[in-house]
Structure 1
Amino acid sequence: MNHQSFLRLIDPVKDKMFRLALRLLVSKEAAEDATQEVILKLWNRKDKVKDYANIEAFMISVTKNYCLDQLKARSNNNLRIIHTNYDSNELSVHSKAELSDELDQIERIVEMLPEQQKVIFQLRDIEEYDYSEIAEITKMREPAIRVTLSRARKKIKEELLKTHRYGIK
């Protein structure tokens, strides 16, 4: 595999790899470094990469594993699940403040979830992967993924309702 064909293979996936790395590592710089490291790893294994049935799932899986290794090495379990690039001219300042507060609240709730639930929530509800793709990435069975995702969503909903009901922040 030459340089050009490798780039054609990586291009459609590199943004997803970066977003996942950003969610897991929090820092934009750390996510950029992680994405570059994963691409370098994939380049070094370029002749084997094309043999995978679902190359995108493999690349996302390598990214996830690299980031989790980085988190373990730093003992940093601060996972974030918020898009910071939301921009709309149609919202008033008040609406933007409310939206920001809601997203911060959801972020705090998601940070309390177990790591597996955070990753599955990210892949399914943020990145919109199919259950079969998540199964390939996480090496879990689809029913277990559905249960884990359901528990994550239920916990998020319960915490949001509790906060709105009692005005807790």
Structure 2
Amino acid sequence: MDRNEFITIVMPLKDKLYRLAKRILVSKDEAEDAVQEIFMKLWKGKQQIENYKSPEAFAITMTKNYCLDRLKSKQASNLKIVHSNYQTSENIERNIEANDGVELVFQIMETLPEQQKLVLQLRDVEQFEFSEIAKMLESNETAIRVALSRARKTVRDEMIKKYNYGIS
């Protein structure tokens, strides 16, 4: 695989990989670093990409695994502490923007358990099929459907609380 073929296959995935990385890592800088690292790994293993039916699924699986590994590392613990200290002023701004329903959904998504957050992101935001998500998350389709159902129910319940607050 030459450089042009690689660019044609991988570059269209940049935004999806970034959104997934940001959803997992929260920090914009960390997400950008993660995507850059994934691109480097993909470039080094570019011969492997041709062996996969879906290079997109391969890249997303790599991104998910890399981001989860970053969260588990000691370095990530420090980043979470720094991020949580910095988050209070950001929360004020986010609360002001929360009038937009989409923004509120994304805020609610951040509170979901990791598996539900990933399934909701991959299905409803990135529009992947259940079978593809099951492969990416190394799970079965039934578990993916259950996680998605629970995630959607939590989001729906939180939206109802937010918009029907004080109304009987």
Indicate the residue corresponding to 1:38 in structure 2: 38
1:159 and 2:158 correspond? yes
CA RMSD after TM alignment: 2.3
Which structure 2 residues correspond to residues 43-54 of structure 1 after superposition, within 5 A? 43-54=43-54
Q: Deviations over 1:107-139 (max 9, x none)?
A: 443222110000001111111111121112111
Q: Is the contact between residue 119 and residue 144 of structure 2 (CA under 8 Å) also seen in structure 1?
A: yes
Residues paired across the two proteins, number: 149
TM-score with structure 1 setting the length: 0.78
Counterpart Cα distance in 2 of 1:162 and 1:11 = 40
Q: Is the contact between residue 109 and residue 155 of structure 2 (CA under 8 Å) also seen in structure 1?
A: yes
* CA pair 7-108 structure 1, distance change in 2 beyond 3 A: closer
After TM superposition, give the deviation of residue 33 of structure 1 in Å. Answer: 1.0
Question: What is the SS of the residue equivalent to 2:127?
Answer: coil
Aligned residue identity for 1:165: N
Q: Identity of aligned pairs, percent?
A: 49
Indicate the residue corresponding to 2:66 in structure 1: 66
Counterpart Cα distance in 2 of 1:21 and 1:97 = 22
1:24 and 2:24 correspond? yes
Q: Deviations over 1:132-164 (max 9, x none)?
A: 211121111111111110011111112222333
Question: What is the SS of the residue equivalent to 2:164?
Answer: helix
Q: Gaps (5+ residues) in structure 2? A: 84-96
Indicate the residue corresponding to 1:82 in structure 2: none
Q: Gaps (5+ residues) in structure 1? A: 79-95
Indicate the residue corresponding to 1:13 in structure 2: 13
Counterpart Cα distance in 2 of 1:10 and 1:112 = 30
Counterpart Cα distance in 1 of 2:109 and 2:18 = 19
Q: Is the contact between residue 23 and residue 110 of structure 2 (CA under 8 Å) also seen in structure 1?
A: no
Question: What is the SS of the residue equivalent to 1:166?
Answer: coil
Counterpart Cα distance in 1 of 2:14 and 2:109 = 24
More helix by share: 2
TM-score with structure 2 setting the length: 0.78
Which structure 2 residues correspond to residues 124-135 of structure 1 after superposition, within 5 A? 124-135=123-134
Question: What is the SS of the residue equivalent to 2:24?
Answer: helix
